[in-house]
């Protein structure tokens, strides 16, 4: 296991969209491991390291809120560089989370792309410095870009008590998206995206995240 960190993240709203919902957005009850990894990568990421989420602590009670949002039907691409919002606007309902707060416990591992100058100590210290100073490559978000995430590094991996630590015990959250793997062809183009799921159990407000290798097997 590599160098571990604990990062507190919070925000007014969040939406960790369930992939089985094709039309309306419906959030998972809590943050997904892939969303947690995205927040860490927004603070510091290089090809030399790979972030691994170990556990997620749920600090606030789970509250949902129904909203309606304007979205566009298509996505911008190399072929379609322009989107006319007035022609492609769609109003959709969303079931999102309100007033969320989590602690992400994670570590990073060195990849095959690391060079001689890449050491665990170097990347660990870079992350600590950037997280303490509030620096990031892009603003991290809670599932959707319109829901920005605030973040704070916790010293010595100190995690505050979760809201369910004495009240509810164990909660079965059902199957949750763990992460995705990408199959790339010889031209560097993504040919297939394979989602991987795990059975999420929240015990005393803490979700233990299994290694991705276990989901792939």
**How does pLDDT run across 105-161, given as a tens digit for each residue?**
999 998 888 888 888 899 999 999 999 999 999 999 999 999 999 999 997 656 655
- Position 208 in a domain: no
Average pLDDT, the chain: 85
Angle at 26 between CA 25 and CA 28, to 5 degrees: 135
CATH number, residue 123: 3.30.70.2660
Q: State which residues form the domain around 50.
A: 4-75+82-161
pLDDT at 83: 64
Number of domains in the chain: 1
* Domain contains 167: no
Give the pair of three-digit tokens for residue 204.
């005393």
As a whole number of angstroms, the distance between CA 142 and CA 133 comes to 20
Q: Is residue 137 part of a domain?
A: yes
If you compute the radius of gyration of the chain from its CA atoms, what whole number of angstroms results? 18
Residue 142 lies in a domain: yes
Any domain includes 189 = no
**Could you read off the pLDDT tens digit of each residue along the chain, which spans 217 residues?**
457 899 999 999 999 999 887 678 899 999 999 999 999 999 999 999 999 999 999 999 999 999 887 666 666 665 656 666 566 667 778 899 999 999 999 999 988 888 888 888 999 999 999 999 999 999 999 999 999 999 999 976 566 556 555 455 788 999 999 988 888 777 777 778 888 999 999 998 899 999 887 766 5
């Amino acid at each position: 296991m590599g160098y571990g960190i604990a990062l507190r993240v919070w925000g007014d709203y969040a939406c960790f969209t369930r992939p089985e919902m094709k039309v309306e957005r419906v959030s998972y009850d809590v943050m997904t491991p892939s969303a947690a990894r995205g927040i860490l990568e927004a603070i510091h990421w290089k090809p030399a390291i790979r972030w691994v989420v170990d556990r997620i602590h749920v600090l606030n009670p789970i509250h949902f809120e129904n909203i309606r949002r304007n979205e566009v039907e298509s996505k911008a691409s190399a072929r379609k560089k322009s989107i006319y919002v007035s022609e492609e606007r769609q109003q959709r309902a969303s079931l999102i989370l309100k007033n969320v707060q989590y602690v992400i416990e994670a570590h990073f591992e060195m990849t095959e792309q690391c060079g001689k100058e890449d050491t665990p100590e170097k990347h660990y210290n870079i992350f600590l410095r950037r997280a303490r100073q509030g620096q990031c490559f892009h603003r991290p978000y809670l599932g959707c870009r319109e829901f920005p995430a605030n973040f704070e590094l916790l010293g010595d991996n100190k995690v505050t008590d979760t809201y369910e630590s004495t009240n509810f015990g164990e909660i079965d959250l059902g199957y949750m998206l763990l992460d995705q793997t990408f199959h790339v062809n010889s031209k560097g183009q993504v040919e297939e995206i394979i989602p991987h799921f795990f059975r999420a159990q929240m015990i005393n407000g803490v979700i233990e995240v299994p290694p991705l290798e276990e989901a792939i097997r």
